Structure formats: C-alpha cells, structure tokens
A and B are shown apart, each in its own frame.
Chain A
Amino acid sequence: MKISYNWLKWYVPEVVVANKLADVFTYHLCEVESVETMLDGDTIFDLNILPNRAHDLLSHQGVARELSGQLGIKFQDPTSLYKIPASTPTKLAVDIQTPNCRRYMARIVRGVKIGPSPEWVVKHLASIGQRSINNVVDATNIVLFDCGQPTHAFDAKKLFSEKIVVRQANEDETMTTLDDKHVTLKPTDMVIADESEVLALAGVKGGTNAEVDDEHTTDIVLEVANFDPVSVRKTARRLNILTDAAKRFENDLSPEHCAYAMRELSATILEMCPDAKFEDVVDVYPKPQEPRTLTFSLLDVNKKLGSNLSIGEVEAILHRYGYQFTREPWAGEKGEGITLVVPALRLDLIGPHDMVEEIGRIYGYENIAPVIPTVAHAPKENAQYVQMCAARDRMLADGYSEVMTYAFTKKGGVEVARGAKGKEFLRTNLSDGLKTAYELNRLNAPLLGHDDTKIFEIGSVFPSLDGEEMHIAYADKKGVVESTLEAFTRELPLAPSTHVSESQKNGAKKFTPWSQYPFITRDVAVWVPLGTESTELTTLCKKQGTELLALEPRLFDQFTKGDKTSFAVRLVFQSHAKTLTDDEISPIMNAISSAIKDKGWEAR
C-alpha cells in the first residue's frame, strides 16, 4: 500500500524525518517495497502490509497509529476535528436479508453539488497514485485510504424507493459495474439493491444503476458497511474484479470501524458542500462485535523469544501503543501477567502467542541474542539420502556428470491444472529428459573439453497419483539406463549420510556464463623435434587465439616417429556477441600457422 509521508504527518506531526522511517518499517513492521521522493517534497513509501495486519494497517491512520507506538510520539486523534453536520429525521430504510452483511450504515444527503474537489483532496489522492473523479467519489476514496474503511455513494433519485436491500443475488440476475462490465450473478454473490434492481456488488464494486454523475445528481445515499470476508472474496475472484474495497473486506474489517468512517465521510462532504442537508444515519447492526480481553504472561513472551524482558519493559511497550491493560495479581510459575483490552480493529490479537509477536517485533528482533541449541540426541540417518549419496558417488567416480531436468512434460499419467503448454503432465521417467540433455551435451562436448558424454540424474517420477518414486538414470553413447534408486543401490556400499564435495571450499569461484551462439572447432597438427613439450604448442595457440578462444587448447593426439613428434591440438572458438564465421577465424588460424613456421616446426 502506498503511504504518503505528508499524509501521515496529519496524525503524527512529531514523526522522524522521512529517510529514517524506512528502517522503522523494515525492522518493526513490514517490508518496504519502494521509497520515492516527490517533486513537492513528499515521500511515498510502498509498504507490503502483512496479511495479519490488513485488518487495521491498509490506511494512513493505521500506519500512523503504529508509528506513534513504535516511536513513542503523540497520535493526534482526528475525531474531534470533524464537524458533525446537523441532521433531520429520515425515511430511508435499510433491510439486511443476508447474514453476510454484518453492519450497514446509510444516510441521505440532499442538495449536494457534484463538482471538482478542493485542492488538498486532489493532491492527497494524486500523492498515492489515485485519480480525482468528482468531489463525492473523491470523499469516499479519501476515507478509504485515510481510515481503511471502504464506503460508497449512490444517487438517491435513481433509487426505486428510499429503501436499501442487502441480499444474495438471484440466479442469473445481471448488472453493469461502474467500469461498464456486464456481469451475470449467482446466489453466492451478495448485492446492494433497491426494491427493483441491483445497485452494487456488495464490498466489491458499484453499479451504473445508481451512479453518481456530474450533471444530474443532487441527492445521495452514503453507504458505510461491513461484509463477510469470504463472501466478498469469492465474488471478487469469481468475477475477477479486484478492487481496493474488496481487498480490505476480504481481509476482514471490524464492523466497529463503520461509525468512525461515517463521521469522517459526512464531515468531508460537508466541507465540500456546505449547503448540503444531512439526514439522520440509519444503522443496522444485528450482532455487534463483542469487546474482548486477552491475558498473557511475561513467561509466554520470554520463553518463546528467548529474551530476558522485565515486566516493566513489556508495560512500557503497551503504554506507548496506548493499550488499556491491568497487571494480573497472580504470580508464581507463570511469572507476572497482563490482561489487556483488545482494540476493536485488532482482529489479529487472539491469544498469548499473538502478544509474543507483538512484543517481539516492537522490542526488535535485532535485540534478541542468537543461541546455538544443544541437542542431546544423535540424529538418525535417512535411508533415502544414504542411497542418494552412494549412487552419486558411484556415478561421479565412473565419470558421469550430474544434471537436473524438468519434472513437467507433454505426456504422462498425472496432469496438472493450468500447466504451461507442452508441460501439462508430470514426468513418468527420467529417461526422456535425459536423452534430450545427452544430445545437448554431446553436441557441446568440444566445449566441455571431452569426447565421451556421460550424464546422470536422480529425481522423482510420477507414473500415477500414488506412484511417486525416486529414480536414477544415466546416459552415455550406449543409450539410457533407468531404475529405481532403491534397486540401483542394492549392491552398492552405502556411504555415510552426508557427503560434502571438496569443491564447496571453492567459495571464491565465480560462475562463467556461456555464450548462446554456436562454436567452431579447428584442429592444429604439427611435427616438432623430439623432446619438445606439448605445452609449447598449446601456449602458442592460446597466445594467437584471441579472446574468441572459448577454452584452453586441448591436446588430443600425439605420436613419435624417429626424431620427430606429432602433436594435435583442438581449438574451440565462440563469441558472446555473434555467430562466428570463417572471416573471423581464418586470420587467427593464419597467425597460428606463421607462428608455427617461425618456430621452424612443420604443419601436418
């Protein structure tokens, strides 16, 4: 979620400078995806709010409240700043016909003038990448990003009567969403309707039937409601309409938040339309959220974190966050304890383990000293790993190199849903993948510096739903052989259960990427006087070979006749930038030939 530093300052005027804030978020709250400094001096943080805090943190107020606790600075409660408009009795009725709606607040506002928003509204929305639409729609968006509660406005005159019905859709009922998507509904979708037709997909998206428009709208109905998260999620997913509102509802919001949001929304509209006439709020809230308390002990915290916090330190953290709490009189085995009143929005705080996390992240995990545990028992060996080590050792010793190939293939016994084309099935054997890999490596053999390609793979195959099995397969010029790992290792000596290669110590080694272009090989055969070292020839070739020489020149043939020895060396050329042709290679080979002549050697 995008968070504007200037917007935060409404609530926490004493907050630290923007460039110190990223670390506070990273080490005590959540990942910061990006930090952007704007031309007007604002800083925008893109915070990856964690799913368990989506109840209360997908808003500027939520993040500001968190910072106030984290930094121990004042949180400026905005409630008293909002003007409460005078209101008159209303005839508006709300009828909740589905248990998926937990609260519905609505009010009529008459004499609204739809038009552009005040500058501060446009600026605030723009700072977090939101476009201004008109004053009423903008007011609902300001409330959404300010306090996290989605709200909606309908054109009151477009309603069949002054009655809002919240119900499940009828089979095959249709509606057009505000972005002109025509959707066919199912009884699993919850809708907001009048007595005649559907006005909105509850918690997901408004509809065109009661759309607020710039030219005609004068009277509006404001909606501030709370919906069941699973119901909203299913509808949003099914219709693929993923909105900021749906994202908040599907993470479960507290219905207690509605009252505050209605106050903020009304006050914002009053500021925009000072002559508007507000009617009383209708509030249908069948089962109010129960106040909750939570008890945890100091021992719960220290025993899980491995920390040594005192009760005073824990109390100081709770004070900073503004928790209401009391010290438990009990003591003894569990140490001191605390009972706190769970804030209504903190639906994530259920049991003592939640307070362990709350205290831990606020205290800071960097303050917990690492400890290596002492383990009394010797670990048992794992039979499959022992087999894997034994099989690998044998294959490597016999000159086979290890590869890994893909588990997905184009035919088999088990099919995955939504698999990529040609990779819809799980492999039933290793052999097919290994044959392809063998061919690739055989063609590359000159590049790899050997003539006989030998490869193997150890991996799972899936011939049927319950037939997963660990196999080994190896390929060489005679073909491919495959068996179960178990059968292959039956006759082998079983190695100790961890087998670490020497090469791991080669930590400083760096990966050399390979070229995507074809290579060219050239052989050089030369008569040299008996006693000449072959390295003289390979060094000469390397010197003349230029950077196009892809690997060390390799001696592949030698014999002696009388007082002369014949050496044959293979050169492999490859470019990282293009496909090589004779035009590039001929000059190099000519240079090698003349260097050979200069030595007084004789090319064969």
Chain B
Amino acid sequence: METPNKGGTEHPISIIRNQAYEIFAGMGFEIVAGPELENEWYCFDALNMPKDHPSRDMQDTFWIKMSPDEIQKAQSAERSTRPVMRTQVTATTIRSLEKAQKEGRTSAAFISVGKVYRNEATDATHEAQFFQMDGSMIGENVTLAHLKGVLMAFYKKVLGEDSEVEIRPSFFPFVEPGIEIHAKFNGRWLEMGGGGMIHPTVLKNAGYDPEKIQGFAFGVGLDRIPIVKWGITDIRYLYQGDLRLNQF
C-alpha cells in the first residue's frame, strides 16, 4: 500500500506573493509583470541613476557578458539597450508608468512581485536571486501620507495587527523625499525596503509632467516577510528545491 500524496504543498514565497497581491488589489493596485532580463535604460538610466555615479555602487549588478564593442553599441542608443539582470522590480514600475502615460491615464497604481538579481557573495542572509515587491501610485494628489498608509495596511495584514511600521529618511535616486521602511515584529525593528515620492526626472522619463502628476513608489524585500514571519533561518533554503521548506 502506497501512501498517496494528497494535495501538494506550497512554496512560502508564493503564499506571501498571493497574499500581497490580494491586499494591494483590495486597495486598487493593478498587478503587473515585467522582464527579469532587463536593459540598462529601465534598470538604471530611467531611474535617475547616471552612469559613473556613486549611487550605482549601492547595487552589485549581473551584466550580460558582451564584447566592449557590443557594449558601446548598446549604450550608444538614445535609451541604452545593454542587457542586465534586473537589480530591482522598479524597472517594471517605470515600464508600467510609461505605458499608463501612453494610454492617457492621469491616475494609476501598480504592484509587482518578481525575482531580482544581485552579484554578491551568498550566505544565510544574502542570495544572488531573491524576490522583491515594487508598488507605485500616481495622480494629482498622491502624497507621502498615502505611501505611509498603504505600507502600514500591508504590514499589519501580513505580519499581524500588533506589528508597527515606521518610515525614516533615506536616499534612492528615483525618489525624493527618499525613505526607508522599517517594520516592528515581535519587538524588533527590521528594515524592509525603501521608497518615497517619485523623482521628477523619473516622472519625465515615463512621459509625465511632474508639475501636474506626482506619486509614490516603494520596493521591499518579499523574501524578508516569510523569513521574519515564520523564522526561516537561511534565505538559501528558498531556492534549493527542497520540499522540507514547504511547511506552511
């Protein structure tokens, strides 16, 4: 007699992703997806991260291997086509904003969960691939107070009503004011990600007039949530294909 495998088990990231999508869809956010193999324009340039600027040091990037001639050719286009593994889902946010502008929309809200890549040494808290959630909302009167509101609503739903959220000053080239998002869970403050009001240059790159349209954007580590919520001890467990992970 074989013991049948009655319903399959779910990966923790999927559980949190689906929950995040449900919460944000409930607040009017539209789910969007974009390529993981991005180009330099959407991953960096459009996000107000100029070449040779120290702000690019904040991320270790997986560039696609190319000859110097090929790189030069890709970068000589008005919008660089040099391929890169996206370092942030914000690349998808700017693509979505650009599309919304082309469709003539003056208000929109997007949410996207996806894989991002960073070329760094891996250990229990660092992985070369991980999931990020990026959200944005634009309109004539979208404010930082709204960003604070949606983040609080999200973390309270996903981590529990007794969790708290705080925003602290920070810097990311694609926003100003720039903020860092911290959540308090089981009595400890944990850094969750960053965000702020979309930088006028980024709005312009999406085709919007920053005098008329404003909005917020944020990017948070999605892996952080199951790790914190359920106490998963090693981020590398998430991508080893080991079913012993699926405990939830």
A222 to chain B, nearest CB (A): 27
A379 touches B109 (CB 8 A): yes
For B168, what are the chain A residues with a Cβ–Cβ distance below 8 Å?
Answer: 26-27, 31, 365
In the complex, B37 has a CB within 8 A of chain A: yes
Q: Is B176 an interface residue (CB 8 A)?
A: yes
Q: Does A28 contact B (CB under 8 A)?
A: yes
Q: Given the known A-B contacts A450-B4, A452-B5, are A356 and B176 also in contact in the complex, defined by CB atoms under 8 Å?
A: yes
Given known A356-B177, A396-B7, contact A500–B230 (CB-CB < 8 A): no
Query: Could you say which residues of chain A place their CB within 8 Å of the CB of B33?
Result: 382, 384-385
Residues of B near A414 (CB, < 8 A) are: 37, 64, 83
In the assembled complex, A418 has its CB within 8 A of some CB on chain B: yes
Q: Does A78 contact B (CB under 8 A)?
A: no
- Chain B: how many interface residues by the 8 Å CB criterion? 94
Alpha-carbon gap, A26 to B150, bound state (A): 22
CB proximity to A under 8 Å, residues B94-128: 107, 109, 115, 117, 119, 128
In the complex with contacts A28-B169, A401-B243, A511-B233, A357-B176 CB distance below 8 A = yes
Q: Is the CB of A501 closer than 8 A to any CB of chain B?
A: yes
Q: A52-B171, A373-B142, A511-B247 are in contact. Are A396 and B10 (CB under 8 A)?
A: yes
Is residue A307 within 8 Å, beta carbon to beta carbon, of the partner chain?
Answer: yes
Please state if B244 and A404 are interface contacts (CB–CB under 8 Å).
no
Known: A379-B30, A407-B36, A506-B248. A395 touches B8 (CB 8 A): yes
Q: What is the distance, in angstroms, from A4's C-beta to the closest C-beta of chain B?
A: 22
Q: Are the C-beta atoms of A398 and B128 separated by less than 8 Å?
A: no
Asked if B209 is an interface residue, CB under 8 A from chain A, the answer is no
* Interface 1/0 per residue, B196-207 and A, CB below 8 Å: 010110000000
State which residues 174-209 of B face A: CB under 8 Å: 176-180, 197, 199-200
A370 in contact with B149 (CB, 8 Å) = yes
- Take A500-B18, A501-B18 as given contacts and tell me if A304 and B246 are in contact as well, using a CB distance cutoff of 8 Å: no
Q: How far is the CB of A302 from chain B (nearest CB, A)?
A: 9
Q: Is A38 an interface residue (CB 8 A)?
A: no
Please measure, in the bound complex, the distance between the C-alpha atom of A250 and the C-alpha atom of B50, giving whole angstroms.
13
**Complex contacts, B7 vs chain A, CB 8 Å:** 396-397, 399
Is the pair A233, B54 in contact by a Cβ cutoff of 8 Å? yes
Q: Does A366 sit within 8 A of B, measured CB to CB?
A: yes
Q: Does A436 contact B (CB under 8 A)?
A: yes
Contact A372 B146 (CB under 8 A): yes
Given the complex of chains A and B, what is the CA–CA distance between A64 and B178 in angstroms?
Answer: 22
Q: Is the CB of A357 within 8 A of B177?
A: yes
Chain A residue numbers with a CB within 8 Å of B248 are 503-504, 506, 509
B33 → A minimal CB distance (Å): 5
Looking at A30, A401, A449, which has the most chain B CB atoms within 10 Å of its CB?
A401
25 residue pairs bridging A and B, Cβ less than 8 Å apart: A234-B52, A304-B144, A305-B144, A357-B176, A365-B144, A369-B145, A373-B150, A379-B25, A397-B7, A399-B4, A399-B7, A403-B243, A406-B129, A408-B128, A414-B37, A420-B128, A436-B241, A441-B242, A451-B2, A455-B241, A501-B15, A503-B15, A510-B230, A511-B232, A511-B233
Which residues of A are at the interface with B, using a C-beta cutoff of 8 A?
Answer: 26-31, 50-54, 230, 233-234, 250-251, 303-307, 351, 353-354, 356-357, 360-361, 365-366, 368-373, 375-382, 384-385, 389, 392, 395-408, 414-420, 423, 426, 433-434, 436-437, 440-441, 444, 447-457, 459-460, 462, 465, 468, 497-501, 503-504, 506-507, 509-514, 554, 556-558
Residues of B within 8 A of A (CB): 1-11, 13-16, 18-19, 21-22, 25, 27-33, 35-37, 52, 54-55, 58, 62-66, 83, 85, 107, 109, 115, 117, 119, 128-129, 137, 141-146, 148-153, 159-160, 166-171, 176-180, 197, 199-200, 214, 229-234, 238-244, 246-248
Known interface pairs A373-B27, A407-B36; 6 further A-B residue pairs with C-beta atoms within 8 A, sorted by A's residue number: A377-B28, A389-B18, A404-B239, A405-B239, A497-B25, A557-B1
